[in-house]
């Protein structure tokens, strides 16, 4: 079965390392904040000017003035800092983020990402995504493997306007964990209960399948 949004976030949270500064994009990536492994310390950044973002608040913790870049209410962890968005983007552009987790509409075999607009549809703007893909070396895309219409989002070439070119090396979907190298997707893990054939069928870009593909563990 395909992973839930929470399970997708749990899988990405396994990539967090002690001492990391991490930016979580709008959408599913924000859920990663709830699953940081015990025993490590990470500082989660939101580009509207919060470093040290904690889990989503309970009803008792809710503060309407404490929001992330997606305008969701959040908590601040011990040692958090609040500053202007200009300083936040200076941190991003200066390469001071160790891991970035972004959602996307499309990713292709060249490591290109399209994440900010669909022509003909109203958008609020590209947000911080273009700065993040330009200023970060370690990016994980977290998205569903296919669209609501069942069309693959892992393509030979992106069809939507690009957010960044040649910048994506890893993708976690509701079906699989894949790496991008040498102009191909490389299947590294599959969601529990999901067959390799299902992943092959829903991956439009060239996919390399090793002899053994382990199931994800949580």
- The verdict on whether 47 is a catalytic residue reads yes
List 6, 38, 41, 47, catalytic entry:
47
Q: Output the CA angle 65-36-64, nearest 5 degrees.
A: 10
- Which ranges constitute the DSSP H helices of the chain? 5-13, 85-93, 129-135, 196-201
Of the candidate ranges 7-11, 65-69, 102-106, 121-125, the one whose mean pLDDT is the lowest = 121-125
Instruction: Assign 130 a pLDDT band (cuts: 50, 70, 90).
Output: confident
73: its two tokens:
């209410």
| Strand, coil or helix: 47 | coil
What is the chain's alpha carbon radius of gyration, rounded to the nearest angstrom?
A: 17
Cβ atoms 79, 108 nearer than 8 A:
no
Please indicate whether residue 33 or residue 165 has the higher confidence score (pLDDT): 165
């Amino acid at each position: 079965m395909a992973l839930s949004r929470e399970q997708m976030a749990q899988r990405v949270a396994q990539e967090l390392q002690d001492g990391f500064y991490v930016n979580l994009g709008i959408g599913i990536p924000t859920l990663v904040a709830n699953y940081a492994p015990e025993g490590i310390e990470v500082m989660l950044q939101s580009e509207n000017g919060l470093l040290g973002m904690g889990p989503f608040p309970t009803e008792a913790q809710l503060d309407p003035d404490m929001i992330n870049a997606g305008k969701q209410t959040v908590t601040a962890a011990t040692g958090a800092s609040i500053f202007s968005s200009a300083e936040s983007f200076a941190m991003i552009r200066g390469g001071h983020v160790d891991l970035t987790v972004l959602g996307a509409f499309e990713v292709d075999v060249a490591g290109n990402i399209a994440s900010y607009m669909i022509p003909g549809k109203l958008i609020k703007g590209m947000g911080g995504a273009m700065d993040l893909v330009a200023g970060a070396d370690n990016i994980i895309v977290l998205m569903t493997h296919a669209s609501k219409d069942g069309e693959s989002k892992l393509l030979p070439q992106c069809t939507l306007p690009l957010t960044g070119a040649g910048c994506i090396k890893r993708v976690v979907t509701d079906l699989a964990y894949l790496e991008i190298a040498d102009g191909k997707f490389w299947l590294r893990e599959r969601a529990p209960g999901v067959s390799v054939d299902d992943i092959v069928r829903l991956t439009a870009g060239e996919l390399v399948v090793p002899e053994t593909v382990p199931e994800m563990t949580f």
